[in-house]
Amino acid sequence: MKMIFKIAKTELRNLFYSPVAWFLTIAFMVQCGVYYVYPLYGLANWQDIVSRNNPGITDFGISMTETLFLGNDGIFSSALQNLYLFVPLLTMGLISREMNSGTIKLLYSSPIRTREIVLGKYLAIMIYNMLLVGIVGIFMIVGALNIHLVDYGVLLSAALGFYLLVCTYTAIGLFMSSLTNYQIVSAIGSFIIIFVLGHIGGLWQKYDFVRDLTYFLSISGRTIKMMKGLITTKDVIYFVIIAYMFVTFTLIKMKAGRESRPWWAQASRYVAVFASVLVIGYVSSRSAFIGYWDTTRRQTNTLHPNTQTILKELGKEPMEITLYTNLVGPGVHRGLPENRNDYLWNLWEPYLRFKPDIKFNYVYYYDTDDADSSLYKTWVGKSLPEIAALNAEGLQVNIKDFKVPAEVRKMIDLQPEGYRLVMQLKYKGKTTFLRTFDDANFWPEEQQVAASLKRLLPGNMPKNIFLTGNLERSIYKRGEREYSSHAIAKENRQSLINLGFDSDSLCVETQEIPSDISTLVLADPKTALTATAVEKINRYINNGGNMLIFGEPGKQQILNPVLKQLGVQLMDGTLIEVSKDEMPHMVKPVLSSAGLHLSEDPALAALRELQTGGKGMGQLMPGVTGITFGDSSAFKAAPLLITVPGSAWLKAGTVVTDSTAPVFNPQEGDTRQPSYATAVGLTRMINGKEQHIAVSADADFMSNLRQGGGFLGIDLYAWMVNDAFPIFTPKIKPVDTRLTITAATATMEKYLFVWILPGLVLLGGTILLVRRKRQ
């Protein structure tokens, strides 16, 4: 070890007695300074402007640590992006310089062992790499002073990733330097190897035999998790063994210069090292052997505790996930073998962290709904096998790898899923589907995955029953006034079916209302309910059942008999709210305090903060009336949506919406009051549980055209089941949301880190090199 340190000391002296190391140090320092202080100045300047003009705003609401250090123009992102430009210049002369000058012969003839030479030189480069980390560390320390409550965990994790990557790059450069006497060739060779390792992960991904090997060897994206604050043993081991591989290759190459062995004996050494790396890498990347450490303050890289609880309840029993990929269906390219590793590690790794015994299966097929398929309109005159063959040719896959319709239909019925790219989860004999979606994210998010996992556990999912028989809104129709989008639309990630709810319908005239449902929905009946229907609904309510009731202006007389026992009535007339943009019947009430606390929805939590600041977000209701209510002997009533005071009045009779704005006319029966409730929540304790009933004077805001009421529509159903579903998985808000400096201070730092500090290093390096040359 003593000799290794002596060689490292000598190599470091040689590095800093040459202009290359100084040039790279200064260039790296300037780069880090530019990518830190310029975004810093922009943020500090805006913070000053906003603070002067709106003192109530105290921060930006975003993590300053992530913005300054990990953003697209952040210091770590930029440093890693350009790191490959520095390393080959630094390492190109490590050994080739000794060969070119002839000093390698002196080293070979000395009592110094070859491994001491190699390890000493690599240790010197590792120490120099610490200098680069130290430069970044300067900005980390300054960032800790500039940012209020900086996230230290993210910074330290990113610094570790940076150091491991640069050490790996320098190990590659060390090996390339041992292959040639020419430094420029060594530098070019290092560029090539780094390029190959950066792109090898996309090679031969179609083939099972080499898919995992090439994906493992890829260096691309290995630091992404560490940059985000997640350290995994898989990534750390990767950098260590790749560095080990190239350092060992260097040792083998230098030993070959002192030995006389046949070529196959030399080659076998390289093969043995490479094989050992593959074995260690393959084993260390198996889910059961990966360790995780989320260093972030907010645990942003870790599943929400709600999801972790579900995975814990699944226990040690194995679970299977089968991905069904339809050659002629949407999203086919994401399910093909070449994207399998991305599917596993990008979608499922967070869940494998807590349940590593998940088994993944893959079924490739082609099929379509013959009764209603656009394929035959696109491929006119072609049969399904011919269409599949053409798609296979275009995607460059073998049609023989895909099961024919008759074969796959014996395995599973995918017609209800529209033959989309879909996953089937299987656990203890129970199965459920996990869907993909035609939006920017495509794959299911944590909320949808958690709901599907919950379906595998014992117990029933909450069930909503939508009443029919009186021309109510339908959950099976796709028209703009209907309710399919938020209830059972499988292609909508925010529909109830994808959030853990089951939905069905029944005719209240001829069928009994089940007692075990979570919510009964009566949505805008257009004909009067019979006495039998009213009696069944009243019995359901009297037994403590939860209910959602949606009405419309002009049909008050249909719902008021049902609402009478609840102490609620829809007012006669239509609310008018004149604005410059909307038609007069388009009213925009805001959430009341009770409405803001319907559920633990992160959207409602954000609105609660806005409401505290005196602001509120309106819910557009296209055609609505007011609701009168009071605390009856049984129910406690509270408004959920209420018009802005003084903004609306009640118009009697018919409202003309496509002409001039209506004028308030008391002689025609128009009335005005300070504000109107447009949705009301009723609660009471009965049979040992709290009963929830919500009444809305507008049904259109929950329609397909209005996207099912958005988050408020979901929150109404969540309120019915006491937040059991959806399974909310909110991320903790950042606290490092503001800077502690002004724009003037940021300007001073800009001059310091971009000009003064690099200038001082340049001056010191120049003096050292001049004095060295004179000696």
* Residues 28-45: tens digit of each pLDDT: 999 999 999 999 999 999
Two tokens, residue 176: 């390339």
> Please, are residues 610 and 651 in contact by the beta-carbon 8 Å criterion?
no
DSSP state of 671: B
Number of Cβ atoms within 10 Å of the Cβ of 509? 14
Q: Please, what is the angle between helix 114-146 and helix 75-91, to 10°?
A: 160
> Please, are residues 680 and 549 in contact by the beta-carbon 8 Å criterion?
no
The CATH topology of domain 463-473+499-720 is Rossmann fold (3.40.50)
Q: Which residue has the higher pLDDT, 199 or 225?
A: 225
* Residues 555-594: tens digit of each pLDDT: 999 999 999 989 999 999 999 999 888 899 999 999 999 9
Interval 303-312 mean pLDDT? 96
Residue type, 302: T
Q: Which residue has the higher pLDDT, 365 or 208?
A: 365
The most distant pair of C-alpha atoms in the chain lies apart, rounded to whole Å, by 115
Interval 747-760 mean pLDDT? 93
In which band, very low, low, confident or very high, does the pLDDT at 539 lie, cut at 50, 70 and 90?
Answer: very high
Number of Cβ atoms within 10 Å of the Cβ of 57? 13
Two tokens, residue 442: 């495509």
Residue 192 has pLDDT above 90, yes or no: no
442: phi then psi, degrees, rounded to nearest 5: 65, -65
How far is 507 from 501, CA to CA, in rounded Å?
20
Residue 108 has pLDDT above 80, yes or no: no
Q: Which residue has the higher pLDDT, 286 or 533?
A: 533
For 182-217, what is the HEC assignment? CHHHHHHHHHHHHHHHHHHHHCCCCCHHHHHHHHHH
pLDDT at 385: 92
pLDDT at 178: 86
SS3 of 755, please? Answer: helix
How far is 256 from 263, CA to CA, in rounded Å?
10
pLDDT at 613: 46
pLDDT at 369: 85
Query: If residue 650 lies in a helix (H) or strand (E), which one and from where to where?
Result: strand 649-651
Interval 747-763 mean pLDDT? 92
* Residues 396-447: tens digit of each pLDDT: 999 999 999 999 999 999 999 999 999 999 999 999 999 999 888 999 999 9
How far is 36 from 142, CA to CA, in rounded Å?
10
> Please, are residues 336 and 297 in contact by the beta-carbon 8 Å criterion?
no
Domain segments of the chain as ranges? 2-295+750-774, 306-455, 463-473+499-720
> How many CA atoms are closer than 13 Å to the CA of 609, on its beta-carbon side?
9
Interval 212-238 mean pLDDT? 85
pLDDT at 373: 72
Range 400-409 contact pairs with CB under 8 angstroms and sequence separation of 24 or more: 401/364, 402/327, 402/364, 402/365, 402/366, 403/363, 403/364, 403/365, 403/366, 404/365, 404/366, 405/365, 405/366, 405/367, 407/365, 408/324, 408/363, 408/365, 408/367, 409/367
CB environment 125-134: b (16+ within 10 A), e (fewer): bbebbebbee
How far is 654 from 700, CA to CA, in rounded Å?
18
Residue 772 has pLDDT above 80, yes or no: no
In which band, very low, low, confident or very high, does the pLDDT at 5 lie, cut at 50, 70 and 90?
Answer: confident
Rounded to an integer, what is the distance from CA 633 to the centroid of its chain? 48
Residues 225, 230, 234, 239, CA torsion sign: positive
Interval 112-126 mean pLDDT? 87
Interval 349-370 mean pLDDT? 93
Two tokens, residue 48: 């000053």
Residue 150 has pLDDT above 90, yes or no: yes
pLDDT at 203: 66
Residue with tokens 């009186």: 470
pLDDT at 612: 53
Distances (CA, A) of 410 to 16, 23, 404, 407, 418: 72, 68, 10, 5, 17
Q: What is the DSSP string of 133-159?
A: HHHHHHHHHHHHHHBTT--HHHHHHHH
Two tokens, residue 486: 């938020």
Residues in the chain: 775
Rounded to an integer, what is the distance from CA 102 to the centroid of its chain? 56
Rounded to an integer, what is the distance from CA 546 to the centroid of its chain? 34
Instruction: Provide the whole-model pTM.
Output: 0.90
* Residues 608-659: tens digit of each pLDDT: 877 654 456 789 999 999 999 987 778 999 999 999 999 999 999 888 877 7
pLDDT at 98: 66
pLDDT at 81: 78
* Residues 258-294: tens digit of each pLDDT: 666 777 777 888 999 999 998 898 888 888 899 999 9
pLDDT at 381: 83
How far is 220 from 199, CA to CA, in rounded Å?
7
* Residues 657-697: tens digit of each pLDDT: 777 788 888 988 899 999 999 999 999 999 889 999 999 99
> Please, are residues 92 and 187 in contact by the beta-carbon 8 Å criterion?
yes
Number of Cβ atoms within 10 Å of the Cβ of 21? 18
Residue with tokens 């109830």: 496
SS3 of 550, please? Answer: strand
Rg (Cα) of the chain, in Å, rounded?
A: 34
Rounded to an integer, what is the distance from CA 23 to the centroid of its chain? 40
* Residues 19-29: tens digit of each pLDDT: 888 888 998 99
Rounded to an integer, what is the distance from CA 693 to the centroid of its chain? 35
pLDDT at 103: 63
Two tokens, residue 323: 């991905």
pLDDT at 338: 87
Q: What share of the chain is helix, strand, coil (3-state, %, to 5)?
A: 50, 15, 35
pLDDT at 204: 63
Residue with tokens 């099972």: 208
pLDDT at 587: 94
Mean pLDDT taken over the chain:
89
Strand partners, 621: 587
In which band, very low, low, confident or very high, does the pLDDT at 489 lie, cut at 50, 70 and 90?
Answer: very high
> Please, are residues 160 and 293 in contact by the beta-carbon 8 Å criterion?
no
> Please, are residues 326 and 332 in contact by the beta-carbon 8 Å criterion?
yes
